[in-house]
Structure 1
Amino acid sequence: MKHIHFIAIGGAVMHQLALALHRQGNKVTGSDDEIKDPARSNLAAAGILPEQEGWHPEHITEDIDAIVLGMHAKADNPELLAAQNINIPIYSTPEYVYKVSEDKHRVVIAGSHGKTTITSMIMHILREQGLGFDYLVGAKVEGFDQSVQLTDAPIIILEGDEYPASVIEKKPKVFFYKPDLTVLSGIAWDHINVFPTYEIYLNQFEQYLSGIKDSVTLIYNNEDEAVQQVVKSSAKHLKTMPYVTPEYHYEDGTAIIKTKYGPAEVSVFGRHNLLNMQAAIKVCMELGIDEADCYDAIGGFTGAARRLEKIIDTDNLVAFRDFAHAPSKLQATLKATREAYPNHKLIACFELHTYSSLSEQFLSHYAGSMDGADEALVYFSHHAIELKGLPPISKEEVERHFNKQGLKAIDNRAELEENVTAILNETDEPVCLLLMSSGTFDGIDWKNVSSQLG
């Protein structure tokens, strides 16, 4: 048994890793200046919720075997300084995950988008086929109680993020997993606070591929020009395997894909998700599962939380919640819903929530990204901009940058609820409501909004 202490234990993945290590029988302690649900409830249920919020350097003692440092912790964190002072080994989350999975066959899903969906699909197929595996995924997946699992399974499936690992380890998280099999799903400039130019961002993926050991299989999106570019420049030492979107059509909103085994009905929809599915199937085939069995299993996949997640389904209204926040993701999600619901009026609500999306430098990249919607609303919070230390933006600026006739920018939660309710009440035709954000629209209860319709 080891004693592992988490600095910033309240993070979405951090607390799940803490729980996984606790289930293995380790002594797990932690700290954070604020712990919200679901982390608070999950940690409390396991008996490892810190007694007090805040940083407590007096708890950092020589009996601790390892410190796991979350991104939320700053360089002057008093617990971090105390650990450095007595030379306790300090790990970022990915470094510690690698340490405990060093002897496993590591499958790493990398890329700017689609990572969570591909990882979730692989998990679903492997479980349906009875293959034992561990995993780390960035969202709640239907049928799985945790988002991190560590056992004695021989395989681990890892969602690999390009964001820096910690305040003292600036290299991307994905660099530390050292894959035995990897996917590159797509590249679209993101995290501009860390990667101020597209070239710097692209270079992270070149470095990632260059750093992988010889002859590892790389499964890559052959429909993405940037991916093609980095594969050509940086993957000559790897075994490369491209994937593309399958042939498909819709029947009553359900996607039917063409396979050599006959037509296959799947629960996900949208070209980008069917592309993700091909990556997942190729991974599972590399892990020894028959292709026909992969298609049988994937038919029952219902998705990861907030990845085109259906939250309302009535005769006149279907609503989806989606994590889309980058311009390319907005376009893909709008196209997917338009294809699946061609006879519905498409109302799109998007929240500017990430550092990149709220930055005036990046806003111009959203031009045309919501053109696929019949009605478009863009919400942002001045408080969120303040918290991120960014200069203020106006509703007029947002509308100008999105450059869509009729698009309305809103900076007040109550006004957003009123606008959506009004649009829905004024519409006679069936509606598809698409809610896109990596945040929560400041906590709006959309089911309650829909229940107030006339």
Structure 2
Amino acid sequence: MRTHFIAIGGAAMHNLALALHDKGYHVTGSDDAIFEPSRTRLEKKGLLPAELSWFPEKITPDIEAIILGMHAKADNPELLKAQELGLTIYSYPEFLYEQSKNKTRVVIGGSHGKTTISSMILHVMKYHNIEVDYMVGAQLEGFDNMVHLTEDNDFIVLEGDEYLSSPMDRRPKFHLYQPNIALISGIAWDHINVFPTYENYVEQFEIFIEKITNGGILVYNENDPEVKRVAEAATNPIRKLPYHTPEYTVNNGTTYLETPEGPMPIEVFGAHNLNNLAGAKWICQNMGVDEADFYEAIATFKGASKRLEKIAENGKNVAYKDFAHSPSKVAATTKAVKEQYPDRTLIACLELHTYSSLNAEFLKEYEGALDAADVAVVFYSPDAVKIKQLEEVTYEQIAKAFNRQDLIIYTNPAAFKEYLFHLKYDTEGIALLLMSSGNYGGLNFDEVKTLL
């Protein structure tokens, strides 16, 4: 099948391109900017465009599918040419549905926890040599790509993002997958540039539930009041399976999960991750893995990339990085690290990097999010605010929003780096937590590893 990607360099797009290439498709693509690791990964498969730009002459009548990335604009020259020729144009999620419409679709949705739960499920499947197709939002240990597609596998596990499908299709991605088995991990207002009110955001999850196939299954987190309300209010003919945070203990920096066979040490920690684990268990059981086999496999799960990822440790100190940026996830992650290391000084650093977090009106949602930290630090770049064409955010607004008198605020990447590098790692027991979907204005995390 001849397939052309408009904006092939994106994290999701290039992984789909690699998956289709591995499946035997004839894949081409264009982009005006391609960064690492996409560049090297595409180059290894011979899929890297010879030149960076848009080339409408590449769009020919023999192309059977155009896949349009979010990075492409509605006036993209290649898109206009494809429309002129009447070619079939798919958004990323539309094409994934097309590839999986004859499979059992397992869709993991929620404002937070999607990647971790999807990763747990895939880890268990791989541990037990059960072949499944998948699409996840992070690179997983032991998996070559973030997307894997076959003709033969019965199941596909899809991370159900609520963000928009494409410049032409303003529907949330997870509305297009029509799950046979669905999970909702949590609902906490996000993406305010697209969903301007909390009610509008919650409505997207109500629609997601409506899209579950008749006779399908909804697994939902009953510890989240909004999820519980939305799930219980749904009237379509589906089976509903609630889950909650299981019992666990923490002893000398190790978390023990309570199981029918007694306490079991696990690699991940924090109430939110134990809650994710409970959801993953229900999904795996509905994919044919019994409870005992699930526990055996999950004991070796170390976490998804950038999700409470340990980057350094010595006898006295430990450092983690985490993708957390929404208020609820920041609060859960900060609390989890403090619970795991109660006798260490927790220095929690948060970069305000997303549209929502840099919005002056949304900032108040962060009140209390860093309360579990002994030392709370917020970094944001005024340049990022300008690039996103948002109103200026001030020190005073941030300090008021977090409602913490001792909050440390940095706007200069060099000053923030100097702060990190002059902490007293040699004399104190420190747990350093770096939370961001960015990199603090260019922080090299490999250099952070050398501090401990």
- Range into which the TM-score falls when normalised by the shorter chain: over 0.9
Specify the SS of the correspondent of 2:200.
helix
Corresponding residue for residue 150 of structure 1: 149
Indicate yes or no: 2:70 matched with 1:75.
no
Q: Does 1:320 pair with 2:309?
A: no
Instruction: Confirm or deny: 8 A CA contact 1:347 1:374 kept in the other structure.
Output: yes
Deviations 1:367-422 (CA, angstroms, capped at 9, x unpaired)? 11111111111111122112211122222322222111211111111100111223
1:187-206 correspondence runs (5 A): 187-206=187-206
Q: Following TM superposition, by how much is the alpha carbon of 1:223 offset from its aligned partner in structure 2, in angstroms? A: 0.4
Which amino acid counterpart does residue 161 of structure 1 have in structure 2?
A: D
C-alpha distance after superposition, 1:64-108 (max 9, x if no partner): 111100111111111111111111111010100111111111111
Q: Please tell me the root mean square deviation across aligned C-alpha atoms, in Å.
A: 1.2
Counterpart of 2:55 in structure 1 is: 56
Query: Residue 114 of structure 1 aligns to which amino acid in structure 2?
Result: G
8 Å contact kept, 2:179–2:211: no
Following the alignment from structure 1 to structure 2, what is the Cα–Cα distance between the partners of residues 398 and 421? Answer: 24
Checking the alignment, whether the CA contact within 8 Å between 1:395 and 1:411 is kept in structure 2 is no
**Number of the residue aligned with 1:85:** 84
Q: Supply the distance in 1 between the matched residues of 2:451 and 2:275 (Cα, whole angstroms).
A: 37
Of residues 18-27 and 379-388 in structure 1, the stretch that sits farther from structure 2 once superposed is 379-388
Ranges in structure 1 where 5+ consecutive residues have no aligned partner: none
AA in 1 matched with 2:39: R
Please list, as runs of the form range in 1=range in 2, the aligned pairs for 1:380-391 lying within 5 A after superposition.
Answer: 380-391=380-391
Are the aligned partners of 1:396 and 1:409 in contact in 2 as well (CA < 8 Å)? no
Is 1:134 aligned to 2:159, yes or no? Answer: no
Q: C-alpha displacement at 1:315, in angstroms?
A: 1.3
CA contact (8 A) 2:162 2:174 kept: yes
Which deviates the most, 204-213 or 28-37?
Answer: 204-213
Residue 263 of structure 1 deviates from its aligned partner by 1.6
In the TM superposition, 1:200-239 aligns within 5 A as: 200-239=200-239
- Seen in structure 2, the aligned counterparts of structure 1 residues 287 and 7 have a Cα distance that, compared at 3 Å, is same
How far apart are 1:23 and its partner, in Å? 0.8
Give unpaired runs (5+ residues) of structure 2.
none
Residue 51 of structure 1: how far off its partner (Å): 0.7
SS at match of 2:218: strand
Matched, 1:4 2:26: no
User: Contact 1:417/1:449 (CA < 8 Å) preserved in 2?
Assistant: no
Q: Alpha-carbon deviations, 1:236-295, whole Å to 9, x = none?
A: 421000001111001221110111122211110000000000111111111111100100
Stretches of 4+ moved more than 4 A in 1?
A: none
In the alignment, is the contact (CA less than 8 A) between 2:181 and 2:212 conserved in 1? no
Q: In the TM superposition, what is the alpha-carbon distance from 1:176 to its structure 2 partner?
A: 0.9
The equivalent residue for 1:26 is 25
Using the alignment, how far apart are the partners of 1:116 and 1:73 within structure 2? 25
Q: How far apart are 1:450 and its partner, in Å?
A: 5.2
Distance 1:22 1:446 in 2: 32
Contact 1:109 1:118 in 2 (8 A): yes
Q: Which residue of 1 aligns with 2:173?
A: 173
Instruction: List per-residue Cα deviations over 1:136-184 (Å, max 9, x = no partner).
Output: 0000111111110112211111000000101111111001111111111
How far apart, in 1, do the equivalents of 2:270 and 2:154 lie?
A: 33
CA distance in 2, matches of 1:26, 1:398: 50
Please report the TM-score for the alignment, with normalisation by the length of structure 2.
Answer: 0.98
Alpha-carbon distance in structure 2 between the residues aligned to 1:121 and 1:259: 17
- Corresponding residue of 2:268: 268
- Which stretch has the larger CA shift, 392-401 or 65-74? 392-401
* Cα separation, 2, equivalents of 1:400 and 1:105: 48
- The answer on 1:100 being equivalent to 2:99 is yes
Q: Distance in 1 between matches of 2:383 and 2:332?
A: 29
Distance in 2, Cα, partners of 1:445 & 1:86: 46
Q: What is the alpha-carbon distance in structure 1 between the residues aligned to residue 307 and residue 47 of structure 2?
A: 30
Post-superposition CA distance 1:91-133 (Å, at most 9, x none): 0101001111111111110111100000000000011111110
Contact (CA 8 Å) 1:209, 1:235: kept in 2 or not? no
- 1:401 is paired with a residue whose SS is helix
Counterpart-to-counterpart distance in 2, 1:208 and 1:27: 33
Please tell me whether the aligned partners of residues 421 and 450 of structure 1 are also in contact (alpha carbons under 8 angstroms). no
Distance 1:58 1:421 in 2: 52
CA distance in 2 between counterparts of 1:206 and 1:332 reads 24
Q: Return the letter of the residue paired with 1:207.
A: I
Question: CA distance change for structure 1 residues 77 and 284 in 2, over 3 Å: closer, same or farther?
Answer: same
Note the alpha carbon deviations across 1:325-372, whole angstroms, 9 max, x for none: 011111100110011101110001100011100111111111111111
Q: Which amino acid aligns with 1:219?
A: V
Shift of 1:33: 1.1
Do 2:245 and 2:278's aligned partners in 1 also have CA atoms closer than 8 Å? yes
3-state SS in 2 of match to 1:188: coil
Tell me the TM-score normalized by structure 1.
0.97
Q: How does 1:407-426 map to 2 (within 5 A)?
A: 407-425=407-425
1:452 to partner: Cα distance:
5.1
Corresponding letter in the other structure for 2:125: L
Distance in 2 between the 1:60 and 1:6 partners? 10
Amino acid at match of 1:297: A
Q: Which residue of 2 aligns with 1:405?
A: 405
Task: Tell me the secondary structure at the aligned position of residue 420 of structure 1.
Answer: helix
In the alignment, the residues of structure 2 paired with residue 66 and residue 196 of structure 1 have an alpha-carbon distance, to the nearest angstrom, of 33
Question: Aligned partners of 2:347 and 2:331: how far apart in 1?
Answer: 14
Distance 1:44 1:297 in 2: 35
Q: Is the 8 A contact 2:303 2:309 kept in 1?
A: yes
Q: Give the drift of 1:28.
A: 0.6
- Report the residue type matching 1:285 in the other structure: Q
Contact 1:270 1:335 in 2 (8 A): yes
- 1:232 shift after superposition: 2.0
How do 1:361-380 and structure 2 match up within 5 A?
361-380=361-380
The number of residues matched between the two structures is 451
Aligned partner of residue 223 in structure 1, secondary structure? coil
Partner of 1:282: 282
In the TM superposition, residue 198 of structure 1 has moved relative to its aligned partner by 0.1
Provide the rounded CA distance (Å) in 1 between the counterparts of 2:235 and 2:324.
29
Is 2:277 aligned against 1:259?
no
**TM-aligned CA deviation for residue 235 of structure 1:** 4.6
1:126 corresponds to which letter in structure 2?
Answer: M
